[in-house]
Amino acid sequence: MYEPDVTIITPTSNIVENEQADDFTLLINLLDKQTYPQIEHIIIDNASSDGTEILLKEYKNSGFISFFSEPDRGKFDAMNKGLLRAKGKYVAFLSCDDFYQDITAIAGIVEAMEENEADFCYFPAYCCPPDGYVFEFTPAILNTFQVSPCARQALFFKKSVLSELRGFDEKFKLLADYDLIIRLVMGGYNGILYDKNIVTYKLGKQVSKYSSQVEAECNHIFYKNYKPLYPLTNEQLDRMVNLSEIPRPLLDKLANIFPDEYRDLFFERYEQMYNMRVENARALREQERRNRY
């Protein structure tokens, strides 16, 4: 039976100093236990100076990984460097503190992607925010044009497709993965749901710490990707970012990207997301009002 190679790419930066060495060890050990035989694990290290390179050399000498250490411009630059070196037909990206808790995960995903000739595959994931509360991030691909529909760790890609799209757009330091997902969906690439939770990831502190930058990047991502379809104003972009409200002419064009049988469900999911964001904004304003008095 043909078993295409799979490449897992992990960016690292001073993981010893950042107390991530134990998490990284868990990632390595669980990848080693995967039932799928053809796995390449590439580490792209940001010229760490805290002993990380010594740790990586130990794993390389034991045959677990290959790694490259040089300065980079951030995690998405590192991921693009890994993509250029990847030998696998399929590629996935895990941070140093993520892991596949299901040892049959990669085998199942590859089988599903091969059977469906899929360009990318998405699936549920356990998310661990900094406060320690764990929740399941359930994919919502029909809401792609409003919010990120799944975690980057809960995606597998055909390498050739990522090459066509030129990987991650590195001008986005926090949300380049969301931009990539939008481009995949708008490009008409064949995505499939693998309805099994196989991965756990930690939510990056930067996303919650730099909320203004997140909003600014989301605004830019919407403008960049939707401007060929509709001339968005600054006010419309702000409402899209803060309320998931899409102007009707643009919404109709975006609906056409999905197959006809999903059209009604697309509009239904759009309304659900919009109403939820409006209600959350209303509740937040009310709470702020109460705090003032």
201/211: higher pLDDT: 201
- CATH code: domain 6-212 is 3.90.550.10
Q: How confident is the model over 175-201, as pLDDT tens digits?
A: 999 999 999 999 999 999 999 999 999
- The pLDDT value given to residue 61: 83
* Average pLDDT value for residue range 102-114: 97
* Average pLDDT value for residue range 118-122: 98
The residue extents of the domains of the chain are 6-212, 232-292
Kindly report the pTM of this predicted structure.
0.93
* Average pLDDT value for residue range 100-120: 97
- The pLDDT value given to residue 207: 62
- The pLDDT value given to residue 62: 78
Q: How confident is the model over 256-280, as pLDDT tens digits?
A: 999 999 999 999 999 999 999 999 9
Q: How confident is the model over 218-256, as pLDDT tens digits?
A: 999 999 999 999 999 999 999 999 999 999 999 999 999
* Average pLDDT value for residue range 82-92: 96
Q: Is the pLDDT of residue 168 over 70?
A: yes
Give the span between the Cα atoms of 113 and 107, in whole angstroms: 10
